């Protein structure tokens, strides 16, 4: 428990690969009911995730800022596992590309048939969160 | 002499066939490596999803509720079979095995008085099953590998299956696919998707190790499960499709390796025959000359 007690093992997995696996001091995850920080020894928790940014803290610094579209977080024994459908480094995202994505999503929503509406709405929510995160 | 010429033509044609099968084998080998890597890379997500689902389901257990796709409709009258094959042939018994297993299952289920419906993935299953069971096919999807197969496609298929389920089109859904055991051996597997058959551990009341954490859920178990279960369905389908794609390339590689070897044997036989025939012709000519000279 020497190492496990001081660091959080953070893993981010997308369906096609293990996206990121690092030891961190703190991870801030955008939970469905508000952001929560995971420190070593956090109580076991399973939460769904809203579109937003995961901050990985190393000491006083934020080492990674990762945008996730959806997913789930599983915290147990100083491990934090996040499963998401889409992840990207915030630094890799271009502002204009994000705004274009929002515009496209809104257009798709306007044209969507009734049964596809829910899907289009969530796409807009994801794009909105992405644009907001870049601001 | 005409016998010699036809032999030469045949040898050449077998040689060019061998070149093709050899090339196909090498293409399959490189695609196989890629497919294997992809299947490998997808494993962490599936494993963790499984663990999480088990955790949530455990916590929900005993309450007898949850999304319908997890607990089922309580009936098993209508079965949906998702049949996974390739789009292209020339891959040995890969597709034949799946089709045989599907037909066997359709027969068994119908004998039990159940209704069967089919969802065909891959052109080969469509071609093979259309002949006998055209009326059972309710949906299809081909060209899975085109433009790089990815998770969105699995998500789309999962969505369609969920829609069918919500319309009440079926009670039980299973997927048939080729499991990638090794490069030389693939195995037809049937995996039940709806209601989801989680590998359940035997109930050991009280004797469970205390180390098992008691989870908090945010928002709550039911809501997480509502999101988790459809996603899990897509992950299961994605996993099966990746297995199937890797198996397809492995099967094709083995089949083409065999074909190349057979062509080699055939070339050897034909070359031997060619040489013998040629020698026979030369000997015959010599005898003719010698006996002609003697007669003088």
Please state the ipTM of this predicted complex: 0.80
Degrees, nearest 5: CA angle B236-B158-B220: 75
Mean pLDDT of B198-220: 56
Mean pLDDT of B7-29: 95
* A16/B38 CB distance under 8 A: yes
Global pTM exceeds 0.90? no
* B219/A32 CB distance under 8 A: yes
* A32/B56 CB distance under 8 A: no
The minimum CA-CA distance between B83 and chain A, rounded to whole Å, is 22
**Chain A contact for B93 (CB, 8 A cutoff):** no
Residues on chain B touching A16 (C-beta within 8 angstroms):
38, 41-42, 45, 150-151
What's the pLDDT at A13? 92
> Over 60: is that where the pLDDT of B202 sits?
no
Average pLDDT of chain A to the nearest whole number: 87
> Over 90: is that where the pLDDT of B149 sits?
no
> Over 70: is that where the pLDDT of B243 sits?
yes
Mean pLDDT of A97-103: 89
The minimum CA-CA distance between B188 and chain A, rounded to whole Å, is 23
Name the residue with higher pLDDT: A63 or B70.
A63
Rounded to whole angstroms, the Cα distance separating A101 from A108 reads: 10
The sign one gets for the Cα dihedral B214, B218, B224, B225 is: positive
**Lowest model confidence (mean pLDDT) among B45-49, B62-66, B80-84:** B62-66
Rounded to whole angstroms, the Cα distance separating B91 from B24 reads: 10
> Over 90: is that where the pLDDT of B155 sits?
no
- The answer to whether residue B91 is catalytic is yes
Task: Look up residue B22 and give its two tokens.
Answer: 């050899």
Task: Look up residue A17 and give its two tokens.
Answer: 């690969």
Percent of chain B with pLDDT over 70: 91
Distances (CA, A) of A47 to A36, A81, B103: 10, 11, 43
Beta carbons of A68 and A31 less than 8 angstroms apart: no
**Lowest model confidence (mean pLDDT) among A31-35, B1-5, B12-16, B261-265:** B1-5
Give which of A72, A65, A83 is closest to A27, Cα–Cα: A65
Q: Taking the CA of residue B4 as centre, how many other CA atoms within 13 Å lie in the half-sphere pointing to its CB?
A: 9
What's the pLDDT at B191? 86
Question: What is the pLDDT confidence band of residue B61, given thresholds at 50, 70 and 90?
Answer: low
**Chain B contact for A17 (CB, 8 A cutoff):** yes
* B51/A16 CB distance under 8 A: no
What's the pLDDT at B284? 94
**Chain A contact for B220 (CB, 8 A cutoff):** no
What's the pLDDT at B2? 65
Mean pLDDT of B222-230: 84
Q: Distance between alpha carbon B142 and the CA centroid of its chain, in Å?
A: 13
Residues on chain A touching B41 (C-beta within 8 angstroms):
16-18
């Amino acid at each position: 428990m020497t190492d496990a007690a001081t660091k959080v093992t953070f893993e981010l997995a997308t369906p096609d690969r293990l996206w990121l696996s690092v030891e961190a001091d703190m991870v801030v995850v955008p939970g469905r009911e508000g952001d929560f920080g995971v420190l070593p020894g956090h109580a076991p928790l399973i939460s769904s995730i809203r579109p937003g940014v995961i901050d990985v803290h190393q000491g006083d610094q934020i080492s990674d800022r990762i945008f996730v579209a959806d997913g789930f977080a599983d915290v147990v024994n100083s491990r934090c596992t996040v499963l998401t459908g889409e992840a990207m480094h915030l630094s890799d995202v271009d502002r204009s590309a994000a705004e274009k994505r929002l515009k496209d999503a809104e257009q798709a929503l306007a044209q969507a048939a009734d049964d596809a509406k829910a899907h289009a709405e969530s796409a807009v929510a994801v794009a909105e969160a992405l644009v907001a995160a870049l601001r | 002499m005409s016998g010699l010429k036809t032999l030469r033509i045949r040898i050449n044609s077998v040689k060019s066939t061998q070149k093709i099968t050899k090339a196909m084998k090498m293409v399959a080998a490189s695609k196989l490596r890629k497919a294997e890597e992809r299947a490998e890379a997808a494993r962490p997500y599936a494993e963790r999803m499984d663990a999480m689902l088990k955790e949530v389901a455990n916590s929900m257990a005993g309450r007898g509720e949850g999304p319908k796709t997890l607990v089922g409709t309580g009936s098993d009258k209508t079965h949906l079979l998702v049949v996974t094959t390739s789009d292209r042939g020339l891959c040995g018994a890969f597709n034949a095995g799946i089709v045989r297993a599907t037909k066997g299952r359709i027969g068994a289920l119908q004998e039990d008085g159940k209704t069967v419906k089919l969802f065909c993935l891959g052109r080969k299953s469509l071609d093979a099953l259309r002949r006998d069971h055209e009326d059972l096919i309710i949906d299809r999807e081909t060209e899975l590998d085109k433009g790089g197969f990815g998770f969105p496609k699995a998500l789309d298929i999962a969505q369609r299956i969920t829609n069918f389920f919500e319309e009440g089109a079926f009670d039980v859904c299973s997927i048939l696919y080729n499991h990638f055991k090794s490069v030389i051996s693939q195995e037809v597997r049937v995996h039940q998707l709806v209601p989801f058959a989680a590998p359940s551990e035997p109930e050991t009341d009280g004797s469970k190790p205390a180390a098992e954490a008691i989870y908090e859920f945010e928002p709550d178990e039911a809501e997480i499960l509502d999101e988790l279960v459809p996603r899990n369905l897509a992950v299961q389908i994605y996993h099966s499709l990746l297995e199937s794609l890797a198996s397809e390339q492995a099967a094709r590689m083995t089949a083409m390796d065999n074909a190349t070897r057979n062509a080699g044997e055939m070339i050897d036989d034909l070359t031997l025959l060619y040489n013998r025939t040629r020698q026979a012709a030369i000997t015959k000519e010599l005898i003719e000359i010698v006996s002609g000279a003697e007669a003088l």
